Chains A and B, each alone.
Chain A
Amino acid sequence: MAASDQFDEMHMPDGSVREAYGGYQDWFAEQDGSFLKRKHRDAEHAFRRTGITFNVYGEDEAEERLIPFDMVPRIISAGEWRRLTRGIEQRVSALNAFMHDLYHRQEIIRAGRVPERLFRNNAAWLPNMVGFTPPGGVYTHIVGIDLVRTGPDEFFVLEDNARTPSGVSYMLENRETMMNMFPELFMRVPVESVSNYPRRLARSLAACAPDCTEGKPVIAVLTPGIYNSAYFEHAFLADQMGAELVEGSDLRVVGGRVQMRTTGGYKPVDVIYRRVDDEFLDPLTFNPDSVLGVPGIMDVYRAGRITIANAPGTGVCDDKAIYSFMPEIVEFYTGEKPLLPNVETWRCAEEDSLKYVLDNLEELVVKEVHGSGGYGMLIGPTASKREIAAFRDKLKERPENYIAQPTLSLSTCPIFTKQGLAPRHVDLRPFVLVSPDNVDITPGGLTRVALQKGSLVVNSSQGGGTKDTWVLKD
């Protein structure tokens, strides 16, 4: 069982089971060990068959890897979810308002609540977006908010993913796999459905279509192609939404619209859900060598004749220095205290903070402000003396490039191992859809789990796995 200072979401310190997991525990206790072991193997086979893989390119040839799936669900009660959704709605609304303000009057900077340097030095900041309002005023159409938990009521936001949050296909396929493997479990435990996410996504994107749309909006998912590591997800979402799956070479600007080459000639596209980074979007505006984008798309965009989701330039929000100001940002735009707290964060750009961080490196997690995927970070408590010394030098050299956070005691949730259930650290990424008059949160999300005992790193690029995430019905 979990060590006493860690919060286990299934078990109480005395070994009894928390209420949300009661129904699951009853079922689990009735299952035969060898049956579960067999199902555990079946699950991997199921993922290979449906092709839920991500591509990794080594020196020789491409390899399709599976993200390990653990079959013990991560369960959230209806009450906990209600509290979370209120906090997420508030935060996402603030993010969207913040984006609009940053690219317009910059009231928040004038008011002195966040410093100007924050976005001036930010590579994701796009001058082309200044003074322009995207169709429907929506910047962050799809957001993934990474949450961690440390106690019964202690949820924190660890990261905002407003650029192109990935992983939603795992939310859907993990559930599909669980329902195929254990149908009787879902008859006994009332779980909120996630399967309508693609429909909600299509509806939300359609609601952001530009004014020139004629009839039902034409939605296309723009992918870099089959060699992209997340291609499966792009194809999956297009399929599930009934949208076209396009590559840059399928699109062309014709008559002031972005049009796709169909078997019957060029047809206008109204909304592009792009899974291509800003810098590759338009070779005429950004990276001239890009073959993934569409020459001239930014002109069409600025003329208000196509919706790009998420809006170019939203990557600013993913910056960890901006993150550290989220409590101020939420309060500034909503007039309320944040319902979901940030993890305490020291900005190394500030002298006092830097001193504190340097003095306490052994206990802190230090991250690059533009980093992601768990790369380029220092986890003080598990780092060697040499690693800490090396990091100290980097930190002194470019303090503004780093933030530091306490090493959180992340909650655990059991995984299935050969020896039975064993607690492992988890996080949670709910997926949020924003349209002009609605913030829509699908009850569930992606639970990532560190498969190594004691490990706090849940990233799939570093050996993390995933779990089905249940929100219980009332």
Chain B
Amino acid sequence: MLARTANSLFWMFRYLERAENTARLLDTGVRMALTRDVVSAEEEWRSVILTAGQQPGYEAKHASYTGMQAWNYVLRDKDNPASVLAMLGNVRSNARQSRNVITGEVWEAINDSWLQISEMLARPVGEQRVGDVLAAVRRAGTLTHGAVIGTMLRDESFHFARAGTFIERSDSIARILDMKYYLLLPSLSYVGSSLDTGQWDTVLRAVSGDRAYRWLNAGQVDARGIVEFLVLDERFPRSLSYCQTALRENLAALARMRGCEGQSNRLMRSADISLSERTIDSIFDQGLHEFLRQFMASNATIGAAISEDYRFLS
């Protein structure tokens, strides 16, 4: 397929995943704010903005952290190039670029979502509407992925779409875990100890893993268990390990179709080996922050290698 189209498709799904994860993150803030006093709510919103990587832009506009300001900034602020609205705009524009390699149903899932959400975000979002908006963003992801899996031919385009999804999802999970873990620990002495379950709940919620985790762990919430679940549990579709395996399979399929392996396949294999050899103990021995930074760097290198191997840009 055309390299520029592959690039559009890859980024269409990266942006979609990023928008969805950002919405999940905001959702944790909204829930948190409902159950907290004003001071800790402010802290929580600061941490949401920080985790979203939007602190400099936010603080250039606002002196304080309130829920309404925070979610409006992240969702729809015109000065925020990484707003959910801007990301969904990128999704749609990339979908238009790759219109002839996605099915009509995938296009309509994107376009319908865009029409609905851009309408919802045309004016400031108050407390009554924020839940609906966030649900609509999550649904955009659900609908689109459903259409991809149900209607797209398993050719290169499918695998580029999926590779974009998983590379972005890994990155989001690692970022959320890293920031939250760092912020939630007032001091290192807390590592491994039992913490405020409400806060850890937000980490799980942010990746939609709260229910699955409780199901598997019978309600026992501890930092080590949650990290193990989000990093190493291959059954959970939003764990690093799951995303890594899925990405490896997509890249292997692309190499088969092209008839040769590239740098992305080699990097993928070594990343995969290094993750599958890990245990939760070795991760904590190394330091979670160190581990996650390393993971994100490797993930980014794989992303760059895909772009290189398949001539996305030249």
- Known A48-B115, A245-B2, A246-B2; contact A263-B100, beta-carbon cutoff 8 A: no
Closest Cβ of chain A to B7, distance in Å, is 9
In the bound complex, residues from chain A placing their C-beta under 8 Å from that of B93 are 226
- Cβ–Cβ contact B2 & A51, under 8 A: no
Known: A263-B156, A263-B310, A265-B311. A245 touches B100 (CB 8 A): yes
Flag A264-284 by CB within 8 Å of B: 1 or 0 each.
110000000000000000000
What residue in chain B is nearest A48 (Cβ atoms)?
Answer: B115
CB distance from B105 to the nearest CB of A (A): 11
Does B258 contact A263, Cβ atoms closer than 8 Å? Answer: yes
Closest to A221 in B: B100
Kindly provide the distance from the CB of A65 to the nearest chain B CB, expressed in whole angstroms. Answer: 14
The residues of B that contact A236 with a CB separation of less than 8 Å are 99
A111 to B234, CA, bound (A): 82
Say yes or no: is B4 at the interface (Cβ < 8 Å to chain A): yes
Stretch at the interface among B22-30, B106-114, B275-283: B106-114
A249 touches B96 (CB 8 A): no
User: Judging by beta carbons under 8 Å apart, are A250 and B104 in contact?
Assistant: no
Q: Which residue of chain B has its CB nearest to the CB of A45? A: B115
Contact of B6 among A246, A263, A265 (CB under 8 A): A263
Q: Across the two chains, which residue of chain B brings its CB closest to A225?
A: B97
- In Å, the complex CA distance between A247 and B8 comes to 13
One of B1, B99, B111 near A49 (C-beta < 8 A) = B111
CA distance A236 to B107 in the complex (A): 12
Residues 251-265 of A, flagged 1 when their CB comes within 8 A of B and 0 if not, give 000000000111111
The smallest beta-carbon distance between A172 and chain B, in angstroms, is 13
Contacts of A51 in B (CB 8 A): 96, 99, 107, 111
Contact between chains at B5 and A226 (CB < 8 Å)? no
B258 touches A50 (CB 8 A): no
Task: Kindly state whether residue B3 has any CB partner on chain A within 8 Å.
Answer: yes
Given contacts A226-B97, A235-B96, A239-B99, contact A49 B108 (CB under 8 A): yes
| Nearest CB of chain A from residue B273's CB, rounded to whole Å | 26
B295 → chain A closest CB, angstroms? 27
Residues in B neighbouring A239, C-beta threshold 8 A: 99-100
Chain A residues near B258 (CB, 8 Å)?
263-264
CB–CB B311/A245 < 8 A: no
| A265 to B262 CA separation, bound complex (whole angstroms) | 13
Which residue from chain B places its CB closest to the CB of A50 in the assembled complex? B108
Q: Do B99 and A262 touch across chains, with their CB atoms under 8 A apart?
A: no
**A238 touches B (CB below 8 Å):** yes
Q: Which of B4, B108, B258, B310 has the most CB of A within 10 A?
A: B4
Cβ of B211 to closest chain A Cβ, rounded Å: 33
Whole-angstrom distance between the Cβ of B186 and the nearest chain A Cβ: 46
**Given A231-B96, A239-B100, A245-B99: A250 touches B4 (CB 8 Å cut-off):** yes
Tell me the nearest residue of chain A to B8, going by C-beta: A226
Shortest distance between the CB of B153 and any CB in chain A (Å):
11
Find out whether the CB atom of A261 lies under 8 angstroms from the CB atom of B115. no
Interface flags for A433-471 (1: CB within 8 Å of B; 0: not) read 000000000000000000000000000000000000000
Contact indicator B100/A235 (Cβ below 8 Å): yes
- CB of B219 to closest CB in A, whole Å: 44
Q: Per a CB cutoff under 8 Å, which of A48, A226, A235, A250 touches B2?
A: A250
Query: Given A245-B2, A247-B4, A264-B258, 10 more contacts at CB 8 Å?
Result: A49-B108, A50-B104, A226-B93, A235-B100, A236-B99, A238-B99, A238-B100, A245-B99, A261-B4, A263-B6
Counting from the closest, the 5 A-B pairs by CB-CB distance are A235-B99, A239-B100, A263-B310, A238-B100, A261-B3
Can you list 23 A-B pairs, Cβ within 8 angstroms, ordered by A? Answer: A48-B115, A50-B107, A50-B108, A51-B111, A231-B96, A239-B99, A239-B100, A243-B100, A244-B1, A244-B100, A245-B2, A245-B5, A245-B100, A260-B2, A261-B2, A261-B311, A261-B314, A262-B2, A262-B3, A263-B2, A263-B6, A263-B258, A264-B258
